[in-house]
Each structure stands twice: as C-alpha cells, then as structure tokens.
Amino acid sequence: MATRVHLVNPSRTAFGTAVITPRWLYVLAGATPSSYGDPNLVDETLEQSAPGMFGPGDIVGIGIHTANALRGYEVGRAARARGARVVFGGIHASLYPDEAHERGGAHAVVTGDGEAVWPAVLRDCAAGTPERIYDGGKVRRDGFVPARWDLLPPDKYMWGSVQTVRGCPKHCSFCSVWRTDGQEPRTRSAEAVVREVVELRRRGFRFIALADDNFYPVTLNDLAMAGRRADSARFEALTAIREERFDLMRRLAQLPDDLVFFTQITMEAAEDAEFLAAMKRARIAGALVGVESVTPEGLKAIYKDFNLAGDALVERLQRFRAHGVHVLGSFIFGLPTDRDATFDATLDLAKRADLTFAQFVTLTPFPGTVDFAKWEASLAGREPRVLDVPVTRHWLIPYEHRPKLYTPHPTMTPEQIRARTQEVWDRFYSIREVWRRARCVRSLRARLAFVLISKLYRQMYANTGISTDSARTTRASRWARWLAKPCRRLFTARPLPDLAVPGAECELNPTQ
C-alpha cells in the first residue's frame, strides 16, 4: 500500500474557522514529492485530529512551536501507537530535538528549515530507516518552496499568507527569530511572491498576511552606518536588499486593487517616508509593530532601545497612520521596570498613537531567547516545579495548571500583572473605544465589520490566553467560533480564476 503523508499543525483550541492560513503546512506539502500523492493536511485550529486518521506505515509530520508543543506531543504519541512514522519539525523541535523523541514519540526530528531535507526524510521513513535528526539548516534565498494553495479547504480561512523575507537583523532579548532564522535577511524573489499572491486572489483571498519576520530588514540608519564605515561591500549588499523591497512593492501595486496586505515591521520604518509611501501604493494597509514598552528603561531591558518612548513614540506611530498604514501595536507587560502606573500609561499611549488594534502580552521567557537563557541560568538547580515539571520547561506543564507568569517581579505579584493586563485589554476593546476607532473606515457596513473583527481578535487572543478560569476560556472559544464565520465572509471576495500574473510571459515555470 502507498505511504500516506499527513502534516499536522497542533492546537488545543479549535475555532472551526481560522484567521491566517498556517503557511508551513502548504509549503511542506509543496516540498513533498508527487510520488507520495497529496499529503493530508490537518490544521487543528480548525478541527482536532483523531488518532484513527493515522495508519500503519503512514508518515506524520508535526510542526511545533513552544506554545503548541504539548498538544503536538500528544498527537505524535497517538500516531506512533497506530504504527505511523512520526517526524517533528518547527522552532521548538529545533531547540529541543531530544524532547520530541522522549515525549512526542518521534522517529525523527528536523531542525532548522524543513523544506530542503523533507524529501530525504520521507524517503528514509518510507524505507523504515529514519535518522534520529536531520539538519535542515537555513534555506537559501533561491530555495524557498511555493505553497500548495490548491490543497486549501474551501471556506475555512480569512487570510492567505505569503512569505517575502526570512531572518531579522535585530537582537531583541525576548525574541528567538534572530537566533533561529538568522540575522542575515533572506529575501524571496518578487516574481515568486507575486505568483503566490495571484494564486490566492484567484481563489477569492483578498486579505494576505506577508508572514515575514521583519518586512523592513534594512533601515536608513543601517545604510548610513555602512556608509560612514566606508564598508562598500556591506553598503552595496544592504542597498540591494532595499531595492528588492521596493521592486516587490512595485509589483504588488500592479495587482487588483481590492487586495489588502498586512505585515510585521520595526518602528524605524516610520522615519522612512519613501518606504511608507511605497507600502501604501502596494496596499500594505496594516503592520504589526512591536512597541513592547512605553518607557526608555523597559526598552533598554529588552535590548530594543532602537524604539522611542513617550511623546516621540506617539509621534512616530502616528506617522504610519498618516501614510495610510494601520498599526497593530504589540506591548509586553511584566518587565522588571514596569510599575503600577505603566498599565494606564500604555493604554493612554495606545489611544494617543492612533493604533487601530493592539495586543498586550505578558512577559514569558521563550526558549531560544536571551531572556530565557538568563532566566534558566539564574534558577539552575532550584527551579520551582508544577506537577513535578520544572518551570523552566513550562510548555510541558498541563495547560490548566500552567502559571500565567514565570519571572518574579520586583514590585508586583503575578496575579496583579495578569489582572491589570486583562483590564487593559478590556478597556482598549470596550465597545465605546472600538466604535471610536471604527471611524477609520467610511461606510456603516465597514464600521460594523470593524467592530466584529475587533471583538473576534479580542476573544481569540486575550480571553483564551490570559484568563484564569477555564470557564472563561471555554466561553471565549465558543464566542470566537461563533464570530469567526461571519468575519470570514467579510474578508473574502469573488474568486478571479483567470487573473493573470502581471508581466508574466509564461505561467508554467514559477521561479522561486
């Protein structure tokens, strides 16, 4: 019997409808040789997998990050018990390959980028001789694999996702991206990006997330510094990356004008009027900006002092809006420099800075980050335990017993930080505030859509993440499930099956 390949995106919460397509599933499907047939793609944010779907001899690839590792291990063990070959990949498996073997029933673990080694992994698994670990390394800029969007289930996702660059030159202490994806940006060709966008628009996707680590990998300051050092090779390399970004945005601007893009970007882009104007022409209408902290001390504590604080921060964030780019501001609470007044000050700043959306997360030491390494070292040999799991392995603690905060704070208790964070979410997303922000769109229909989407965002991310009681979490999931369906209809458009790739002479040989 032919070997069946399954790819599983684990999640303990299923909403029936999801916001963004989990791109990795469709990219790895693209890297699966046709001799295995089409892989079975299982996104547990839609519906959970059932062990009965895996059979003896099947190959089950499970991609995990720290937050969904525990559920991933459950799926891995269930698949192995059914006689399947289990392979783990993703950021968390790259950091803890032994854990995936011990806890997840792995036959093999892929570290780094998976797409290049995936055919070899499948070949070895099918032959019954998988290696313990495969090092996928970092895929080169000409090695990006286009996603198999033809495998998308109909009517399940609101947004498509396309990657344009991997890696980030910064080194924020709470973030693992620069360590796992590297600090050297690897840009994908504009041609390959545009082809994927066109394919998604043909299928009725109008909103597309540019799922990049940092869409603005070269700042004006980087160029000025390379210029001052008279480092011509560096200057030319940076200039080439910057030009590629502009080329991509020029190509995106030629696509149907109902397309809307969203990306992640550092705040420094606000000083680059030429870049912001190009974003607007390309209809990159929204960006997640990591503001993190509103105080200079807080920014210094997380190595993000390239951000501004206070009124200068407000002015800089407003500049995005002035150029037609809506900002989803991301803030962290629980930094050692935070005080009781920080919560109100953050909320006030989020309002003054014209943020369209905001998220408020609590400081969590994630593996692979500088913060985690420091925290782990500071507790060596005397880690508190929950159900006999050391807190430095917090992702292994059953969800319902997991503390909401791990690092002690000099002046506030974990419960104070959690409760104040929840309160900031409640106030930012009060119906009055949401309706006020809805003025950013014109028609009544669009305003109502804005309210619906704001509420959905809050239900999906705030209530399921930082609430203490499981009843509230269950209620929030139910609400999110209910809201997600009408929201999806607001985002999609009439399919355009005949849409051509602008400037393409031949559609048969997509370039990477």
> Which has the closest alpha carbon to 7: 15, 23, 19, 269?
23
Residue at 217: amino acid letter: P
Nearest distance in Å: CB 170, ligand SF4:
4
Interface region with ligand SF4, contact rule CB under 6 A, candidates 100-108, 149-157, 165-173, 468-476: 165-173
Nearest distance in Å: CB 266, ligand SF4:
5
Residue at 134: amino acid letter: Y
- Contact between 268 and ligand SF4 per CB under 6 A: no
Size of the site for ligand SF4 (CB under 6 A): 11
Nearest distance in Å: CB 366, ligand SF4:
11
| Alpha-carbon gap, residue 108 to 131, rounded angstroms | 6
Of residues 90 through 119, those in contact with ligand SF4 by CB under 6 A are none
3-state helix, strand, coil in the chain (%, to 5): 45, 15, 40
Q: What is the 3-state secondary structure (H, E, C) of 117-186?
A: CHHHHHHHHHCCCCCCEEECCCCCCCCCCCCCHHHCCCCCEEEEEECCEECCCCCCCCCCHHHHCCCCCE
> Which has the closest alpha carbon to 195: 251, 151, 140, 260?
251
- Contact between 251 and ligand SF4 per CB under 6 A: no
- Contact between 178 and ligand SF4 per CB under 6 A: yes
Interface region with ligand SF4, contact rule CB under 6 A, candidates 58-66, 91-99, 175-183, 502-510: 175-183
Q: Binder to ligand SF4 among 168, 313, 314, 335 (CB under 6 A)?
A: 168
- Contact between 293 and ligand SF4 per CB under 6 A: no
Binding mask 328-367 for ligand SF4 (x = CB under 6 A): ----------------------------------------
- Contact between 170 and ligand SF4 per CB under 6 A: yes
- Contact between 175 and ligand SF4 per CB under 6 A: yes
Nearest distance in Å: CB 167, ligand SF4:
9
Which of helix, strand or coil describes residue 345? helix
Contact present, 407 and 302 (Cβ < 8 Å): no
Of residues 202 through 221, those in contact with ligand SF4 by CB under 6 A are 213-214
What single-letter DSSP state applies at residue 189? P
What single-letter DSSP state applies at residue 47? S
Residue in this structure with the two tokens 């991609």, named with its chain if needed? 63
- Contact between 266 and ligand SF4 per CB under 6 A: yes
DSSP E strands: which ranges in 244-325? 260-265, 284-292
Q: Binder to ligand SF4 among 72, 112, 136, 290 (CB under 6 A)?
A: 290
- Contact between 299 and ligand SF4 per CB under 6 A: no
Interface region with ligand SF4, contact rule CB under 6 A, candidates 46-54, 69-77, 173-181, 377-385: 173-181
Closer by beta carbon to ligand SF4, 213 or else 338: 213
Q: Which residues contact 363 (CB under 8 A, 6 or more apart)?
A: 174, 332, 333, 334, 335, 371, 405, 407
Contact present, 368 and 176 (Cβ < 8 Å): yes
Which stretches of the chain bind ligand SF4, using CB under 6 A?
Answer: 168, 170-172, 175, 177-178, 213-214, 266, 290
